[in-house]
Amino acid sequence: MSRQTVLALLRERMGEPLSGEELSQQLGISRTAVWKAINTLRQEGYTIEARTGQGYRLTGVPDALTEPEIRSFLTPVERVGRRLYCYDQVDSTNTRVKQLALEGAEDGTVVVANCQTAGRGRMNRVFQSPRGQGIYLTALLRPQLPPDRLMTVTAMAGVAVCEAVEQVCGVRPGLKWPNDPVMNGKKLCGILTELSLEGESGRLQYLAVGIGVNVGQREEDFSPEVRPVATSLLQELGRPVSRPALAAAEIEALDRLYTALLSGDTAPYLAACRRDCVNLGRPVQLMLPDGTRQPAVAEDLDEDFGLVVRLEDGSRRIVRSGEVSVRGLYGYVE
């Protein structure tokens, strides 16, 4: 606890000296405890100068997905993020959230990890989650809503990620239907939404909204099979992006999403999804469960975020997330 409180005081005076005596008096701990806390913070990557007669000065913070770092950027939230678990490594943040849900974790609990050893995407695809290069985050939601009211969550989560990236980076990704944020035709983020229903009543037990954002990967960090379709913020912007700042922005965006979901006011998300969807007006291929591909043109999104496509015979069809995958005519987007 002394480490966190020392860090909080140093943050308040970021760049300015704070004497060991002042830290000791304000926190009610010994000068030795202050010294130990400073050393621990340095080991965690904080840059703290010590000058005789002036005291300690915080001059740099690590790009760490820890609770103190994320909360230093996080504004007050209504539900999502009030309880925050941060791990260096997990098998999957979705799996961890589901375990916490069974243990009675509260609505809005968020799990963040620096690395996943078994990250998953839609249709059980592997999601590469290297240490220190991405943000792997899952929110636990317990909305008292019928399952049919939750059909829009996957697409809304895509909009939430675009909002977070725009807030922190000043650029807004596009959306490949149904919910993949993309930049320059490549996938920036993976989103996996899972829910659990009671067997007898069919009532929702919980909803896990998982988000993995590629932040610091260089081209060579992606495996050969993923490299042609994946990108990162570092690659697209040419500069590093603060992971704790972006994680905080994601949590805030998910909190706004949850409020909209509970109130039923999803129209702004539909409008944003229509605006950002890179597929609309373009040829696509519907990748059917039997492995065949069906050419079509993406025309619109319906009120439930389903993709309205025109087939080669001129007929129209509404495609739902989970039924089929959509690819561009020549690649991931194009």
Q: What is the pLDDT of residue 326?
A: 78
DSSP of 151-205: TTHHHHHHHHHHHHHHHHHS---EEETTTEEEETTEE-EEEEEEEEE-TTT--EE
Q: What is the pLDDT of residue 156?
A: 97
The continuous run of DSSP H or E covering 135 comes out as strand 134-141
Q: What is the pLDDT of residue 14?
A: 82
The span from the CA of 250 to the CA of 157, in Å, is: 10
DSSP of 44-58: TT-EEEEETTTEEEE
Q: Are 169 and 237 in contact (CB under 8 A)?
A: yes
The span from the CA of 316 to the CA of 300, in Å, is: 11
Domains delineated in the chain = 2-60 (1.10.10.10), 67-276 (3.30.930.10), 283-328 (2.30.30.100)
Q: What is the pLDDT of residue 182?
A: 96
The DSSP 8-state label assigned to residue 243 in this structure reads: H
Interval 48-88: pLDDT, tens: 998 888 889 998 888 999 998 999 899 999 999 999 999 99
Name which of 132, 150, 317 is nearest 241 in CA terms. 132
Q: Are 135 and 215 in contact (CB under 8 A)?
A: yes
Q: What is the pLDDT of residue 80?
A: 98
Q: What is the pLDDT of residue 293?
A: 87
Is 231 exposed, middle or buried, given 0-12, 13-18 or 19+ CB atoms closer than 10 A?
buried
Q: Are 6 and 25 in contact (CB under 8 A)?
A: no
Q: Are 301 and 267 in contact (CB under 8 A)?
A: no
Q: What is the pLDDT of residue 62?
A: 86
Residue 308 bridge partners (DSSP): 300, 318
Q: What is the pLDDT of residue 9?
A: 87
Task: Report, as ranges of residue numbers, the positions in the chain whose pLDDT lies below 70.
Answer: 1, 121-126, 322-324, 328-334
